[in-house]
Structure 1
Amino acid sequence: MTTPPDGPGTGSTPQGGEPEDPLAEMMRRMFGGNAPDPEEVRRAMEQLGGGVGGNMPFDPSMMNPEMMQQMMQQFQSMMSQSPNDGPVNWTLARQAARQAAAGQDPTVGTFAAREVDDALRLAELWLDQACELEQTGFPSVAWSRAEWVEHTMERWRSMTEPVAISLSEAMSRAMKDQLPGQLPEEVSGMVGNLQPMLENMGGTMFGLQLGAAIGELSQEVLSGTDTGFPVAGHRLALLPVNVEEFGDGLQVPAEQIRIYLALREAARMRLFAHSPWLERDLFAAVQQYATGLSIDMSSIEEAVQSVDPTDPESMQQVFSGNMFVPEPTGTQKAALDQLETTLALVEGWVDVVVTQAAAPLESATALRETINRRRATGGPAEHAFGSLVGLDLRPRRLREAAELWQVIEEAKGREYRDGVWQSPDLLPTAEDLNDPQGYVTRREARQAESDKLDDELKKLLDGGYDDQS
């Protein structure tokens, strides 16, 4: 039997498979791996009264202008933002993140959850012997990748929204102004109907790209605080499937890996619980970076000009591999420097404390080096996330920070080391990372000057000065 060649309106036939759904193919070409569910699109179109249904090919030439206009309105409604989303389609971002996380993502079973809980309980006991900060009392959870996405998405939104809004609005303006002139002649009469959709296209495309990056990040993170930010809220969280993949090839017992990662998670959360200002300052630095951020409109316009309207897949590639945020200057640079320093100080303290707490583990030294290399270089998803929003999550000066905390402990003791986290005014600076050995001397000199000023003020307020002095 001879297979007829593909004709207009017929889907391609994969080897040994059924013909591909034409509507699914169109969605795939437009949005790549983050395409909306074609069944949802089909149901919206079926509301027109049978315009598209079942496996019927999607052929606009079979529809009269009125049906085409109705179809575009339906499609526009589907692609538009929900009332609370604003310029960025966060609903689609969440869906894209869930879709990217849904690959090999088994549900966490009872046994795996118990292993995580036991590891975190043991980690808390060991940390009691290595630091002065008390246990948090936070619940322990074992999450799948999809659960990590669901429980952290709002934090990612708050971190990225200022940049995302600026980029999506700029992209939407460029698409609205330039794409209509690039449309093929046969649909040029529909430009008026396309304009509302084009206004939202930037937010839609950016939401899909950002969601995909967060979903891919869910395949790399090992715990709730693995990125350095407490995105999981007040929980001690591990992702068993990622922990297992992390251990592949390390030749280290799975139990030791789990305990070591639990130590790092519990140590970070002790910091955030003991010093509420720390979480506030981290997110404030991100917001300060985003405030007044300029967008490179010339690059965006150039990217949009490269879009081929006859090849919808090219639209979703506009954001891929492009960074439209210029090199930060002024306020943005200062915020990024402060963020980098704070993240390094957190990771350095965690490194020192966990090294002491993990002494009973035979593989502690090997695990420490593996984790520190991983944090210093970052994974593919972390780089993809950073290229979208211009935010690097890696603590570049991790080793200097670890050395600094070690110097502080050797000079002043563990209680002094951990007491530094009581106030942001006591936190070491980038200067201290450059010269760890001089931190204690500088801190004592500043403290002596502060005490002197306090004494002078107290004398003044108590009337300790007389006219003769």
Structure 2
Amino acid sequence: MADSNPEDEQSPEEQFQELIRQLFGGAGGQVDPEQLERLSGMGIDPAMMQTVMRHLQGAFAGGADEGISWDLAKRQALHIANQDGLVVTDGERTDLDQAFALASLWLSEATTISELATPPRTLTRGGWVEATLPVWQELADPVATSIADALTEALRDQAPEEMQSLVQGAGRLMRTVGGSLFASQLGQVVGNLSKEVVSGGDVGIPLMPDGDAVILPQNFADFGRDLEIPHDQLALYVATRELAHARLFRHARWLRLHVISQITDFARGIHVDTDALEELASRFNPAEPDELRRALESGALLPSRSEAQNAALTRLENLLATIEGWVDVVTDAATARLPSADRIAEAVRRRRAVGGPAEQALSSLVGLELRPRRMREAAAMWRAVTDAVGVAGRDALWDYPDLMPTAEDIDNPAGLVARLEARARGEEPAPDEMDDALARLLAGEDIGEAPPEGTADDGPRPQRPDPEHDEPNEDGPGDPRPV
């Protein structure tokens, strides 16, 4: 009697799980055609399943273990960024180096924040992708994980009881489907964004890991092509603005972490619209992932923001506006000699306010808009501060997190000016809630309880740092106060 084949005794679900193990396991991705034929007992077309496996194997090679293949995002981004095959010429590099040198001199007259430790440089689009992709990955990871997990959960909830073992065996595969498609979309967005950004600080967030000042000559040429502004003036303005942005983040070393933390806090609050995803999962075909890709592109899987998320987005917008407003004021002061400075400044502001197609795609993909809506109001605040206490007093507000202007200061610059002028006269600033809480804590009181009536002004109070006498701590104190 012939020995029975153990595979013939396997249930259809066990056969499917064995197929998955072969696809991503020790079989090198080679699937036995006879095994595909056995799936006919489950009502699955073997030819269709073979097509599915071929698509999945090609898409997720090397990324199945982690679920989300960020290498796929990098390959996709670099493919788009390097499509034109353009390089930075010696002439472009020389022109921009000269612009950076003069811009640095002008900027030193407009701010007390010191020069960069490393020289500015030019980057290709592919170089920009290589340098900034780790930051994009950090910002997008919470959404990618949420989508991948939600897709697996939606499939599990819809499967009947008798198919749960099959779904469990394919769950990791389905998670890889969602995560890898998201990574691919992120790669496309970053690749297209590399064709739009002119400089390292163009998007408004600190993307360069070492805080370097950079310009992308390819995109700089595109930006100035229709402005009818002399090339040398445009280069000086863009170089000055980029240096101001880089100097600020190098001086206030806590600021980069503050911005990234605000963005990741917002992203972690994103939850996928499970109803939309379940409806999509009910007809999802892994061999034809275009529908899921379109849903990711349009933002259809991200529900309306919660109140907590709207509050987080408002804080982030105020923070970015405060940064961009300072950069605007300092750049305008440094480039006052340029005949076309006003025209260039307005062109830059319009571009910053609208953004390009890739940034709009990023907003749909991650649910995050990086365009500060209050940039003009923040710039007006910084001008008022400069008029009141001078350049040194203005720039000293970046020395410590708790000196930084708040959203209320943008709304009411007069209150901020009054406090700064009082401090300049040697007057003790009026205590705020943080001062009161710290004073009660030092006195051994329970900070959860209000101070006894009539004692609000008793006892010593902690002093805020005096920017004129205290040395800034470049390593940064603890967590900054929310903006």
TM-score (norm 1): 0.75
Please name the residue that 2:83 is paired with.
103
Query: Aligned runs of 1:382-461 on 2, under 5 Å?
Result: 382-442=359-419, 448-450=429-431
Match of 1:122 among 71, 96, 102: 102
Distance in 2, Cα, partners of 1:179 & 1:264: 56
Distance in 2, Cα, partners of 1:81 & 1:310: 15
* Structure 2 residues without counterparts, runs of 5 or longer: 1-26, 40-45, 161-165, 440-456, 463-483
Match of 1:255 among 216, 227, 232: 232
Please name the residue that 1:217 is paired with.
193
Distance in 2, Cα, partners of 1:92 & 1:448: 54
Distance in 1, Cα, partners of 2:156 & 2:129: 32
- Secondary structure at the aligned position of 2:121 is classed as strand
Q: Residue deviations 1:226-277, cap 9 Å, x none? A: 1111111221110000000001110011222121111111001111011011
- Secondary structure at the aligned position of 2:297 is classed as coil
Q: What count of residue pairs does the alignment treat as equivalent?
A: 399
Query: Aligned runs of 1:43-192 on 2, under 5 Å?
Result: 76-80=56-60, 82=62, 86-174=66-154
Distance in 2, Cα, partners of 1:158 & 1:459: 40
Matched, 1:333 2:314: no
User: Could you tell me which amino acid in structure 2 is paired with residue 120 of structure 1?
Assistant: F
Higher mean displacement: 64-73 or 349-358: 64-73
Q: Residue deviations 1:179-210, cap 9 Å, x none? A: 99xxxxxxxxx999976533310001111111
Matched, 1:204 2:186: no
Match of 1:295 among 267, 272, 284: 272
Higher mean displacement: 303-312 or 204-213: 303-312
Distance in 1, Cα, partners of 2:187 & 2:53: 25
Distance in 2, Cα, partners of 1:85 & 1:358: 52
Q: Residues 228 and 443 (structure 1 numbering): CA distance in 2 closer, same or farther, change over 3 Å?
A: same
- Secondary structure at the aligned position of 2:214 is classed as strand
Paired residues of 2:52 and 2:287 also in contact (CA < 8 A): no
Once the 2 structures are TM-superposed, how far is the Cα of residue 128 of structure 1 from its aligned partner? 0.4
Please name the residue that 1:360 is paired with.
337
Distance in 2, Cα, partners of 1:198 & 1:459: 58
- Secondary structure at the aligned position of 1:289 is classed as helix
Higher mean displacement: 360-369 or 81-90: 81-90
* Structure 1 residues without counterparts, runs of 5 or longer: 1-44, 52-59, 181-189, 461-469
Paired residues of 2:56 and 2:287 also in contact (CA < 8 A): no
Distance in 1, Cα, partners of 2:415 & 2:321: 18
User: Could you tell me which amino acid in structure 2 is paired with residue 119 of structure 1?
Assistant: A
Paired residues of 2:200 and 2:215 also in contact (CA < 8 A): yes
Q: Residue deviations 1:14-60, cap 9 Å, x none? A: xxxxxxxxxxxxxxxxxxxxxxxxxxxxxxx99859x9xxxxxxxx9
User: Could you tell me which amino acid in structure 2 is paired with residue 126 of structure 1?
Assistant: W
Q: Residue deviations 1:373-411, cap 9 Å, x none? A: 111111111111011111111011010011000000111
Q: Residues 74 and 408 (structure 1 numbering): CA distance in 2 closer, same or farther, change over 3 Å?
A: same
Please name the residue that 1:29 is paired with.
none
Q: Residues 420 and 246 (structure 1 numbering): CA distance in 2 closer, same or farther, change over 3 Å?
A: same
What value does the CA root-mean-square deviation take over the aligned residues? 3.6
Q: Residues 263 and 397 (structure 1 numbering): CA distance in 2 closer, same or farther, change over 3 Å?
A: same
User: Could you tell me which amino acid in structure 1 is paired with residue 135 of structure 2?
Assistant: R
Paired residues of 1:173 and 1:199 also in contact (CA < 8 A): no
Once the 2 structures are TM-superposed, how far is the Cα of residue 285 of structure 1 from its aligned partner? 0.6
User: Could you tell me which amino acid in structure 2 is paired with residue 270 of structure 1?
Assistant: R
Distance in 2, Cα, partners of 1:428 & 1:198: 47
Query: Aligned runs of 1:265-276 on 2, under 5 Å?
Result: 265-276=242-253
Paired residues of 1:81 and 1:87 also in contact (CA < 8 A): no
Distance in 2, Cα, partners of 1:225 & 1:179: 48
Distance in 2, Cα, partners of 1:131 & 1:47: 60
> Aligned residues: percent identity?
37
Once the 2 structures are TM-superposed, how far is the Cα of residue 120 of structure 1 from its aligned partner? 1.6
Distance in 2, Cα, partners of 1:141 & 1:307: 46
Distance in 2, Cα, partners of 1:398 & 1:459: 35
TM-score (norm 2): 0.73
- Secondary structure at the aligned position of 1:246 is classed as helix
Please name the residue that 1:324 is paired with.
301
User: Could you tell me which amino acid in structure 1 is paired with residue 394 of structure 2?
Assistant: R
Q: Residues 272 and 305 (structure 1 numbering): CA distance in 2 closer, same or farther, change over 3 Å?
A: same
Q: Residue deviations 1:89-122, cap 9 Å, x none? A: 2111111211222333501122222222222222
Q: Residues 357 and 255 (structure 1 numbering): CA distance in 2 closer, same or farther, change over 3 Å?
A: same
Distance in 2, Cα, partners of 1:259 & 1:46: 56
- Secondary structure at the aligned position of 2:295 is classed as coil
User: Could you tell me which amino acid in structure 2 is paired with residue 123 of structure 1?
Assistant: A
Paired residues of 1:73 and 1:193 also in contact (CA < 8 A): no
Once the 2 structures are TM-superposed, how far is the Cα of residue 310 of structure 1 from its aligned partner? 7.8
Distance in 1, Cα, partners of 2:461 & 2:246: 42
Distance in 1, Cα, partners of 2:155 & 2:189: 22
Distance in 2, Cα, partners of 1:282 & 1:85: 31
